[in-house]
Structures are given as C-alpha cells and as structure tokens.
C-alpha cells in the first residue's frame, strides 16, 4: 500500500516581535556607547585589552528532514519557516555609567526558531534597581495520525492529520523594581504577564471506520493568559524582623479539543456520519493573597515569632461539547452532548501562627506553639442538555472549617551522645457541610446538612543515642487519639421516607493507636548503610453510621501489628547508589 502524507508547516513567529528584539539590542548598544563617550572618567577606567565584559555572538543554521517532519521537530525541538533560523546567539553588555549607576543587557533572539530571552538591569547603589525582561520559546509537536490495517476493506486506511506541524508558544514579559536604601524597608515590586498559545497533539483520538476504532488524530487549541503582581516589604527595627507581602494573580484559559469523527464516511448529524467535535474547556480565576510575619529576639534565652496569611480565590469554569459541520459551529447538531456548562468556586483561607522558643537552662529547649485556621469553600455547577425538553442541573455545596492546633516540643541535649525529646499536639476541627443536589429543573432539590467536631491528639516521647561514630539508635513511643463525634445526624431534605430508610452514611470514625518502635542505623562502610526498624502497634477502631435515619456506633477493629523492616543503601560511586 502506498501512503501519501501532507505535512503542514509550523506557523511563522511574529516578524514584528523579532524586529523589536533586535532593536532592543541595538538601542542598548547605542545607549552604552553614548554613556561611555560622554563620561571621560569611565573611559579612563577602561579595562586593559584581553579583559572583555561585553560579548555579542551571531548564529545561523537549519535542517533538512525527510519522512515525518513533525516527529523530527518534536524530537529535536527545532522548527521554523523554511527550516532555517538566524539571529543573536548571545549578547551581554555591561557598563558603569557613573560612580552609582550600572547598566547591563543580556539577550538572545533567534528568528524563526521562536527563541527569545532579554533582560535589562539598571542599578543605583544608593537607591535600588530596575529590571525588565522578555522571554519566549516554542515547543513543536507531532500531529500524525493512526493507521488501521483492515483486510476486509479494499485497502488499509491511513488517517491523515488535520494539523501535522502544531506548536505552542510560551512567553513572559516582566518588570521588577527594588528599593534598597539604608535605614529604610526593602521593597520589591514585580509584574509578570505570561501566555501560552498554539496547538498541540492530543492523546484522545476520534473514531474511524469501522466505529469503535480510534485511529483519527485530534489536536488541542490553547489560549491561556496569566497576570501576576506582587509586593514584598522587609525591615528590621532593633531585635525585631518584620515582613509583609501581597500578591494578585489573574488566570484566563480558553482551551479546546478538536476531533474529526469518521472522516471516511458521508457527513451528517447521526453518530454513524462524519462529524466534527468541539470540546471547549475554559476557566477564569482571581487569586488574592497576603502574608505578614515578625520575629523578635527578646534575649539570649527567649525569642518570639508570629505569622499570618490570607488567601481568597474566585474562580469560574465554562464549557460545551458540541458536534457540527465545522469546528466551533454557530449551529451545533441536536445530537451534541451538552452546552452552557458553568461552574463557580469561591475559596477563602485565613491562617495565624504563634511560636515561642525558650531556653530556661543550658541544653533545655522548650517550644510552645499555636496555629489557627479558618477555611470556607462555596462551589456550584450547572449545565443544559440538547435533549427536548432540555435537562438543566443545578448542584452546589458549602464547607466551613475552623481548626485550632496547639503544640509543645521539649528537647534536652545535655547528656553526651544522647538527645531526649517529648512532643504533644492537640488539634480541634469544627466543620459545617451543606450540599444541594438537583437532577433537573423540575425535580425538587435534595439538601444534605452535616455538622461535626473532630479531635486529634498525639503524644510522643523518644531518645536518640550515638554510641559510636557509625552507629545510631532511636527509641520512640507514640500515642494517637482521633475522636470524631457528630453533634447531630445529617439533615436530609427532599427524600421520601422510603429513600431515607435506604440511605446510609458513614458519619465518623474513631481511632486509638499506641506505637513503640526502635530503629538502628549502622554505617558499616563508608559507602554502605544499614537501617533496621521494629514497630509494635495496637489500634482500635469504631465507626458511627447513619442507617434508616438512626445513628449507630459499631466497634469495627482491634488490631495488633508487628512490623519489621530493613533497608540497605550502597553507593559504589559518588553519583550512583543502590537501595533495597
């Protein structure tokens, strides 16, 4: 069988962008030259011949390929119009403008290879700096399709790709400003604009002929934007360090997957006809976060630190899955799957930490801490079907969680070759859950309301002993309690009495565990380490379930475990190790 392939050419990078990048290099060179000529002091300080700071390199190249050109571009990470590229391989220009100002420019610009990287820095030794840059690169993909050998047909089928030379361009434009003045806070402000645009091959293929055999290639369309703004401030006053930061991020994605179903049969609206599928997948997100911290060294024995952070994200999703005579059809076929799919999410999280480090006597360290967190999630989704009448779903949920964690860590290292420690952690979680399920616009919604309190306690005591330089022994005991007791049974609305009787939920699970373990680490040779460990565990488990609207407590487990483990690590060379 003879196969003929039509290979596409990757899209040409913007000539305007290439011209702009080259102009940046020329303008930077002119700026440095002018500043140098205008300053006789700088000229007198010019380094001797043979000691160069400024470098410029040009390059040109290309390739020829026969056969699958798309596969070659993907493997070699090369491409371009006419399979040829040229431009600046490396550019570095640096000059002291005066006793305070320094300017540097680094760049690369390979036209038709989609490879650009520019960074300019202007520094004032008494004020701060300004940085700006642009970088972009292109990734090539192979869009070739499948081959279906079928002796029952007059000839085997080769499915030509819809786009054999897809590529994706990733770019980032950024600027950063830094204030670095004596006795003033250090301030850093940064802006970034990131993008990803183009087409790439997809691993999800469409059906060919006969139906059920997925040999027809598909491709993804990407259109993604990300903007980031951040501000960070740090300062020290006396024995106290301060820090504050704020960040805003905006994401916008409008992606899609394009599939050509059964291209070797007549076009039509039915599942056995040739149809073009457009599966749109879009999302947007606004993310705001801020944080602050402080650390104070009160004296040689006492220090205090605190931190807080807040984050809020507002996101939305949208999408559709439609068939038509073209991609992104204005009039989709009625056999399409769904349309107008939307979803939303609103997430907020607040965290605060307090820590105290106290050394009352030599070699004894006591660290109490407390952490509080409040989390809220509100999400929902709905979509419309193409059925007649249309089916509309409307689901949503809300979760509120408050967590308080107290901790205490005590360590004593006053005995030679021996370290003793004890730790305790108490964790309380209060959760409220609300869920709304609605299968169609005409059906009554089902509401699920649940409130529960969760307590976790963990106590640890142990010792680390170093009898020899190559021998280490660790002994530890751990007690854990997990107690989850719902304040009331879940509240169900919209279920019939029969459905309530048949509805069962696992409400909570309580766990008590005691663990004693010993671990021995022996460095037998300079390149051979053996670790042996033995654990003795005793666990009891009980469940609380809702059956027929009644809470039931069941003791479901009483487990005793003996665990013996051994690991060996051998390093025959500095860059190679074997572990088992």
Q: Under DSSP, is residue 373 helix (H, G, I), strand (E, B) or coil? A: strand
Between residues 529 and 38, the one the model is more confident about: 529
CA gap 196, 201 in Å, rounded = 15
Convert the pLDDT of each residue in 20-32 to its tens digit: 444 444 444 433 3
Tell me the helices (H) and strands (E) count for the chain, helix number first: 4, 26
Q: Which of 246, 359, 244, 366 is nearest to 311 (CA)?
A: 246
Q: Which of 448, 543, 547, 553 is nearest to 500 (CA)?
A: 547
pLDDT > 90 in the chain, percent: 48
Tell me the average pLDDT of the chain.
Answer: 81
Task: Enumerate residues 6+ apart whose C-beta is below 8 A from 287.
Answer: 247, 248, 249, 250, 251, 311, 312, 313
* pLDDT higher than 50, residue 559: yes
Instruction: Tell me the two tokens of residue 282.
Output: 């879009």
Contact yes or no for 451/432 (Cβ under 8 A): yes
Which pLDDT score is estimated for 164? 65
Q: Which of 422, 420, 424 is nearest to 464 (CA)?
A: 420
* pLDDT higher than 50, residue 46: no
Task: Enumerate residues 6+ apart whose C-beta is below 8 A from 544.
Answer: 484, 485, 486, 506, 507, 508, 509, 510, 551, 552, 553, 554
CA gap 568, 580 in Å, rounded = 5
Contact yes or no for 175/184 (Cβ under 8 A): no
Convert the pLDDT of each residue in 459-510 to its tens digit: 999 999 999 999 999 999 999 999 886 655 555 544 444 445 545 666 677 8
Q: What angle do CA 250, 255, 257 make, to 5 degrees?
A: 165
Distance, CA of 98 to chain centre: 44
Convert the pLDDT of each residue in 55-113 to its tens digit: 999 998 877 777 777 777 777 777 655 567 888 999 999 999 999 999 999 999 988 77
Which pLDDT score is estimated for 359? 95
CA distances from residue 349 to 273, 307, 553 in whole angstroms, order as listed: 50, 14, 33
Please report which confidence band the pLDDT of residue 444 belongs to, taking 50, 70 and 90 as the band edges.
low
Q: Which residues of 75-93 are buried (b: 16+ CB within 10 A; e: fewer)?
A: eeebbbeebebbbbbebeb
CA gap 154, 175 in Å, rounded = 62
Convert the pLDDT of each residue in 385-399 to its tens digit: 666 556 566 678 888
Which pLDDT score is estimated for 436? 73
Which pLDDT score is estimated for 225? 96
* pLDDT higher than 60, residue 203: yes
* pLDDT higher than 70, residue 52: no
- Across the range 11-24, mean pLDDT stands at 45
DSSP calls for 309-366: EEEEEEEEEEEEEEEESSSS-SS--TT--EEEEEEEEEEEEEEEEEEEEE-SSTTEEE
Q: In 10 A of CB 502, how many CB atoms?
A: 11
Which pLDDT score is estimated for 434? 81
Which pLDDT score is estimated for 104? 94
CA gap 505, 547 in Å, rounded = 7
CA gap 435, 440 in Å, rounded = 16
Convert the pLDDT of each residue in 288-336 to its tens digit: 999 999 999 999 999 999 999 999 999 999 888 888 888 888 777 776 6
Convert the pLDDT of each residue in 394-436 to its tens digit: 678 888 999 999 999 999 999 999 999 999 999 999 888 887 7
Between residues 53 and 499, the one the model is more confident about: 53
Between residues 78 and 118, the one the model is more confident about: 118
CA gap 296, 292 in Å, rounded = 14
Question: Does the model's pTM come out above 0.95?
Answer: no
Which pLDDT score is estimated for 19? 45
* Omega within 30 of 0 (cis) for the link into 160: no
Distance, CA of 290 to chain centre: 19
Which pLDDT score is estimated for 210? 61
Which pLDDT score is estimated for 580? 87
């Amino acid at each position: 069988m003879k196969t003929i392939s039509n290979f596409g050419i990757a899209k040409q990078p913007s000539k305007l962008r290439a011209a702009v990048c080259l102009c940046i290099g020329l303008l930077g060179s002119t700026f440095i030259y002018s500043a140098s000529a205008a300053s006789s002091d700088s000229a007198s300080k010019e380094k001797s011949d043979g000691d160069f700071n400024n470098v410029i390199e040009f390059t040109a190249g290309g390739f020829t390929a026969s056969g699958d050109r798309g596969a070659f571009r993907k493997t070699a990470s090369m491409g371009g119009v006419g399979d040829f590229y040229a431009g600046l391989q490396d550019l570095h220009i640096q000059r002291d403008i005066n006793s305070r100002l320094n300017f540097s420019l680094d760049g690369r610009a390979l036209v038709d290879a989609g490879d650009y990287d520019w960074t300019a820095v202007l520094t004032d030794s008494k004020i701060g700096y300004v940085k700006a840059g642009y970088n972009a690169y292109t990734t090539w993909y192979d869009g070739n399709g499948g081959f279906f050998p079928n002796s029952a047909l007059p000839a085997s089928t080769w499915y030509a790709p819809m786009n054999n030379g897809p590529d994706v361009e990733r770019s980032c434009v950024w600027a950063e400003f830094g204030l670095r003045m004596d006795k003033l806070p250090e301030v850093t402000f940064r802006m970034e604009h990131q993008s990803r645009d183009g087409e790439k091959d997809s691993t999800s293929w469409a059906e060919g002929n006969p139906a059920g055999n997925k040999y027809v290639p598909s491709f993804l369309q990407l259109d993604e934007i990300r903007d980031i703004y951040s501000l960070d401030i740090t300062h020290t006053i006396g024995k106290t360090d301060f820090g504050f930061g704020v960040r805003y991020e905006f994401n916008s994605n409008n992606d899609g997957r394009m599939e050509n179903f059964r291209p070797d049969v007549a076009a039509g609206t039915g599942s056995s006809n040739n149809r073009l599928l457009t599966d749109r997948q879009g999302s947007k997100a606004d993310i705001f976060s801020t944080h602050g911290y402080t650390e104070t060294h009160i004296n040689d024995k006492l220090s205090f630190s605190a931190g807080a952070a807040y984050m809020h994200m507002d996101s939305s999703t949208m999408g559709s899955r439609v068939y038509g005579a073209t991609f992104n059809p204005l009039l989709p076929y009625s056999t399409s799957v769904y349309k107008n799919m939307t979803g939303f999410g609103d997430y907020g999280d607040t965290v605060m930490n307090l820590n105290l480090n106290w050394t009352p006597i030599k070699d004894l360290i006591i660290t109490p801490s407390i952490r509080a967190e409040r989390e809220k999630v509100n999400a929902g989704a709905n979509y419309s079907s193409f059925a007649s009448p249309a089916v509309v779903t409307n689901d949503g949920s809300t979760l509120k969680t408050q967590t308080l964690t107290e901790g205490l860590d005590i360590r004593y290292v006053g005995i030679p070759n021996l370290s003793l420690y004890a730790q305790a952690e108490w964790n309380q979680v209060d959760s409220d859950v609300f869920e709304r399920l609605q299968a169609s616009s005409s059906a009554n919604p089902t509401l699920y309301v649940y409130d529960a309190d969760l307590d976790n306690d963990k106590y640890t005591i142990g010792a680390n002993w170093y009898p020899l330089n190559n021998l280490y022994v660790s002994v530890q005991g751990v007690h854990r309690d997990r107690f989850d007791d719902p304040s009331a049974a879940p509240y169900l609305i919209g279920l019939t009495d029969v459905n309530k009787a048949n509805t069962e939920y696992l409400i909570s699970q309580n766990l008590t565990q005691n663990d004693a373990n010993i671990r021995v680490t022996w460095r037998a040779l300079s390149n051979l380490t053996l670790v042996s460990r033995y654990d003795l565990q005793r666990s009891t488990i009980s469940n609380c379930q809702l059956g027929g609207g009644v809470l039931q407590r069941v003791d479901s487990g009483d487990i005793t475990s003996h665990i013996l483990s051994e690991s060996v690590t051998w390093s025959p060379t500095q860059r190679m190790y074997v572990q088992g």
